[in-house]
Structure 1
């Protein structure tokens, strides 16, 4: 901040308890300093992290032995010294190459021994000089010097007056923008009458790197230096204004947040007094729902902990909605809710025959599988995988089986699935985390024993997010899926009552371990006669219904259907026939 050094000056001089030396000079003192001659040689005192300007009084701490000896001799003999800044602050014992060539002639006003044992020296700058050659290295450096850019006091014309006013206005504005700068700094600026001293005083105390201050010291001409100081002050003012705007905005946002927090707390208290607390009502409704549910023991214990955690949360916090969504998922999942199975094999055969013409071997295998389930009473049997070309009715067979058994039908397309999290879900700690698609579909079905069609099993992909086909191993293994672990739910979920039915077009692209867990039923293509019958019984009525045309308005001869099948469809399924 600007004028930080000014606070150090006041501190040092008050500590010395000597009020004779004031860090401001009168026009008479300035004129007297201008008339003093610069000696031919001066002992050089090198400074780190600061630059001394003519007329300015600054305190410095002297720590190097050669510097202490130089200052003591100069103070004792009342000799003037040359003060120059180092190019590199890290050098402990600088030589001529390490010092800037332009410095300030200074007088040692006071030496102070501080309580911590360090030596503080109060210096007053007088005139600028430039050293030409080093004539002595020990016990301290001494060099030949010449006066640098000797100038008389500037004439008090309009430009002089404008520069004075501009400098004072900018400096006072910066002081007002900086809460850490004492108000006395503004009075000091206002009382300065000399443009030269004003430029030097501001240049010495402004917030700028040593390199910029040194460059300012070397600028020739007082008006040029004044314009340079104005430029630096303008940058400083812009920076302070920007900081203040940012702080004001942040403070305003915090004040608004605090205001909303207190208002919400008051509203919560009022609602509790009136018995109308929405958060409490929501929690009570969730507890009421939980009482009517049939839970596994581990899920019931977990729900009690999670609902208690939700009850203690502030409804305005970001974690509240995450916790509420998790509790709602636990309530929405059909943990032990089942639909009654209809294992009437004659009914199942009738449904399959009604929905699908032909495929006798496939239907026979499905009926056999249902018969085993009826006798055994549980589903710990291999998963059915219907394998065959596109369009032969693999997916619709799954729908017919669900219809025959009286189960809910769920279809999950696996084509292009590449992320393992689609199967297992994301952990709750992630923003926007969701359960996997297995649990999402079970939640949608509303029962824990739907018929679950895993469509396009051979189209599963894999990338750096993981291998979803490996995640499917747990889902489709009857020995493991009674304790399926979803990352979001973070509890074991029983999938053993779900009847999984997979479909695929290419067995070779399915992972061998996954293929080994399934019972493959091949669905072959249709013959010409079967395609004709499918068109007659299913496709034509479907299109008549879609177009709103009745059977009386349109008739399609069987020979025409045979001709279309023979001449225009060559695939195994009937999708091409349906388009024709």
Structure 2
């Protein structure tokens, strides 16, 4: 160690806690301890220096000699400022290092005997020292860049000095480092060695700072988007509250609460929670936010787990169905069978029932009665004219005005997940460039697939397996085959006049009386009047026009009661025309004499059966075949097939072999404004042609239906129930039908079976024999028909020759 010139002096001392003062440095700090304040006062009043020395342990309140470091700084007090609360702010200037020899007193202030250490005289700067100084500058400059609260001005005060001791003291004073490290710098009396030690400490501090900055950077990166968004959302909430735009937080909490309460599948709950999180991030009033809100509202309104308890009681259901509907025994039986199976196997998935029949026979109302009997909620969806696939499956929610499809809307309307969904008019679905809704229904109406039905709007699977689907249609012809294959067809036939009478008395008339504000005693209709209304003013399969006509009677009665003062109106068959005017329909009058070339055919239409006359006229000509009456391709082909058959049998029928060259044949179907088509007029055309060519009259009480082949075979037809009912209405006694349709007679109403004779045939020869009495040469015996009609007239009927 280099020798120093030393001198000793006694001066006030001040113990520093957590700080160090270096020579030639100005420093201000606050003093609170009473002994320290007194020491400062003594220094100021006596004009003497003060010895500032650091405590080894900051916690000691009254330090003794052993609690202080040996090396400190001799300073002069430059300024003393008294602060409120007995604190003093002091500015001191370091003069030189000093060594504590001993403490001469500890009260009322510290006083110490101090050996002043004079600074080492500057030596010529060597290359190594210069390199060290430059390295120090570089490190300190880097430190200023990284350290907070360090200004570049600090560096300017340093650049002018080449003294390593001063540089080390200056930097140590201005750098934030541990008190022990600063004390070590202070205690190093050799300038170059002091600077070297400082460089090591500065390098370590830089490493710590860089590590700290790296950690801060990582922490900032680790601050997730949601945390940043949280602050932004809090700010946004405050702004919204200031603007009075409502509290979005309560809305989000309400959505989350609804999701928890909805008891929905986990997949759906996760999806909705994700949407709520997306909504949380949306700015107030954005278009995307309104789309998400609508989506959440629709999803949360759906009955994911809400069900009605099914009432599986066959007898109670039978009473409800019988009370609501007269007749329809087959339909009721099928519904009760469904219930009986449900009673034995509650987990049975709902079959899809399709009610097919003419308008007005009660298809929709029986579906409503089913819902009441099963104690299920009803959702009704009308499919008539729907030609967009999105109507069934819904639109993607990104489109403007998007909404779920009709199936989901029906369940939402019903409010439970196991309703009875009535799909009305399924035969009237259309299709265009926007897709085929019938194909979209394939998934809905398939018990194996519909447990995971995906609506485009919902984007999550919805279980339709608990839903009981009932569809209605007027005809199955326009329903695509794959869709028809998924449904169980139950046919509702036309009502007989007797059934219409009972329906009118039990249901229609009481309903119309109530609707028009009449009591039962104010309008009395006899059975004869109702029968007259049915036959004279309506001509339909169902009872809609009948109900409207009864409504008209109620209005007439109401008018008389109000204007003429009568107490009640009685309507009989005789005075009916006074109220309703002239009869609109007259019973078909069979011709009094048998006619040549006129045959009664039977036709099926979507509104019931019709009697279809076929007229044939034969005139001399060149063999032309004229067809009129607005016929379709099938009926035109039937006429050509009939002509070919007749030509092949001309010799047996007693017709000139060259008739097709010398005669013109004109086939006409009256009511030319009505389009006619279908494969059931073949034998009627054949019979009319043979009658006209042979001049043989056709039996007048006879009607027939069936298709003909070139070989004279009679092929089966459809719609037998409606056709036979039309025959009964028209006063026909005997109906000729294809042999293959004999099995369908079981389904015909008992009243009709009892009133008509049925003649099953396999060949046209048998038809001609029965209709014209022409026993062809190939037949040795006249044709005999074996018929088993139901009712009192059961037995065998032989068509006379």
Place the TM-score, normalised by the shorter chain, in its bin.
Answer: 0.5 to 0.7
Q: State yes or no: 1:331 paired with 2:303.
A: no
Correspondences of 1:342-353 after superposition (within 5 Å): 342-353=311-322
Match of 1:408 among 351, 359, 377: 377
**Structure 2 equivalent of residue 107 of structure 1:** none
Alignment partner, residue 509 of structure 1: 478
Q: Deviations over 1:549-577 (max 9, x none)?
A: 11122211121111111222221100111
What SS does the corresponding residue of 2:484 show, helix, strand or coil?
A: helix
Q: CA separation in 2, counterparts of 1:374 and 1:273?
A: 62
What's the counterpart of residue 520 of structure 1? 489
Asked whether the equivalents of residues 451 and 463 of structure 2 are also in contact (C-alpha less than 8 Å), the reply is: yes
Question: Residues of 2 paired with 1:348 and 1:404: CA distance?
Answer: 5
Deviations for 1:304-325, whole angstroms, at most 9, x for unmatched residues?
A: 1111111221122111100100
- Using the TM superposition, give the Cα deviation of residue 344 of structure 1 relative to its aligned residue in structure 2, in angstroms: 0.5
Following the alignment from structure 2 to structure 1, what is the Cα–Cα distance between the partners of residues 240 and 443? 48
- Residue 524 of structure 1: how far off its partner (Å): 0.8
CA-CA distance at 1:433 after TM superposition: 1.1
1:296–1:336 contact (8 Å) kept in structure 2 = no
Alignment of 1:2-401 (within 5 A): 268-270=237-239, 277-401=246-370
The alpha carbon displacement at 1:287 in A equals 1.8
Structure with the higher helix share, 1 or 2: 1
| Residue number in structure 1 paired with 2:394 | 425
Inter-partner Cα distance in structure 2 for 1:289 and 1:306: 13
Paired residue secondary structure (1:465)? coil
CA distance in 1, matches of 2:502, 2:268: 52
1:552 aligns with 2:545: no
Q: Secondary structure at the match of 2:524?
A: coil
CA positional deviation for 1:461: 0.6
Distance 1:311 1:267 in 2: 11
Please report how far the alpha carbon of residue 268 of structure 1 lies from its aligned counterpart in structure 2 after TM superposition. Answer: 3.4
Q: CA deviation at 1:273?
A: 8.8
1:566 aligns with 2:535: yes
SS at structure 2 position matched to 1:432: coil
3-state DSSP class of the match of 1:507?
Answer: coil
Aligned partner of 2:463 in structure 1 is 494
**1:378 positional shift:** 2.7
- Trace 1:430-441 onto structure 2 (pairs within 5 A): 430-441=399-410
Are the aligned partners of 2:513 and 2:519 in contact in 1 as well (CA < 8 Å)? yes
Partner SS state of residue 523, structure 2: coil
Q: Could you say which residue in structure 2 is the equivalent of 1:222?
A: none
Secondary structure of 1:350's aligned partner: helix
Change (3 A) 1:471 1:516: same
Of 438, 441, 450, 1:481 maps to 450
Is 1:446 the equivalent of 2:415?
yes
3-state SS in 2 of match to 1:545: helix
Distance in 2 between residues matched to 1:465 and 1:374, nearest whole Å: 43
Instruction: Output the CA distance in 2 between the equivalents of 1:431 and 1:405.
Output: 39
* Post-superposition offset of 1:266: 7.6
- The partner residue of 1:462 within 424, 428, 431 is 431
Q: Name the structure 1 match of 2:512.
A: 543
Question: Which residue pairs with 2:137 in the alignment?
Answer: none
Query: Match of 2:262, SS?
Result: coil
Whose RCO is larger (CA < 8 A, sep 6+)?
A: 1
Cα offset, 1:289, TM superposition = 1.9
Residues in 1 aligned to 2:276 and 2:468: alpha-carbon distance in whole angstroms: 32
Q: Give the TM-score of the pair, scaled to structure 1.
A: 0.53
Larger Rg belongs to: 2
- 1:288 is displaced (CA, Å) by 2.0
TM-aligned CA distance change 1:578 to 1:274, over 3 Å: closer
Kept after mapping to 1: 8 A contact 2:360/2:542: yes
**How many Å separate the matches in 2 of 1:381 and 1:428?**
30
1:447-479 CA distance string (max 9 Å, x none) = 000000010010011000000000000000000
Backbone CA RMSD of aligned residues: 2.0
Tell me by how many angstroms 1:275 deviates. 12
> Is the Cα–Cα contact under 8 Å of residues 379 and 499 in structure 1 kept in the other structure?
no
CA positional deviation for 1:487: 0.6
Shift of residue 543, structure 1, vs aligned partner: 1.0
Structure 1 residues 325 and 342: alpha-carbon distance in aligned structure 2, compared to 1, 3 A threshold = same
Q: Is the 1:379–1:496 contact (alpha carbons within 8 Å) kept by the matching residues of 2?
A: no
Distance in structure 2 (CA, Å) of the matches to 1:568 and 1:361: 29
The alpha-carbon deviation at position 336 of structure 1 amounts to: 1.6
1-structure distance, mates of 2:310, 2:236? 52
Displacement of 1:394 after TM fit? 0.4
**Structure 2 spans left out of the alignment, 5+ residues:** 1-232, 550-801
Deviation at 1:267, TM superposition (A): 7.5
SS in 2 for 1:552: helix
Q: Could you list the runs of 4 or more consecutive aligned residues of structure 1 that deviate by over 3 angstroms after TM superposition? A: 264-268, 270-277
Given that residues 481 and 495 in structure 1 are in contact (C-alpha distance below 8 angstroms), is that contact kept between their aligned partners in structure 2? yes
TM-score scaled to structure 2, two decimals? Answer: 0.38
Task: Note the C-alpha offset of 1:372.
Answer: 1.7
Contact 1:539 1:578 in 2 (8 A): yes
Aligned to 1:105: none
- Indicate conservation of the 8 Å contact 2:351/2:469, yes or no: no
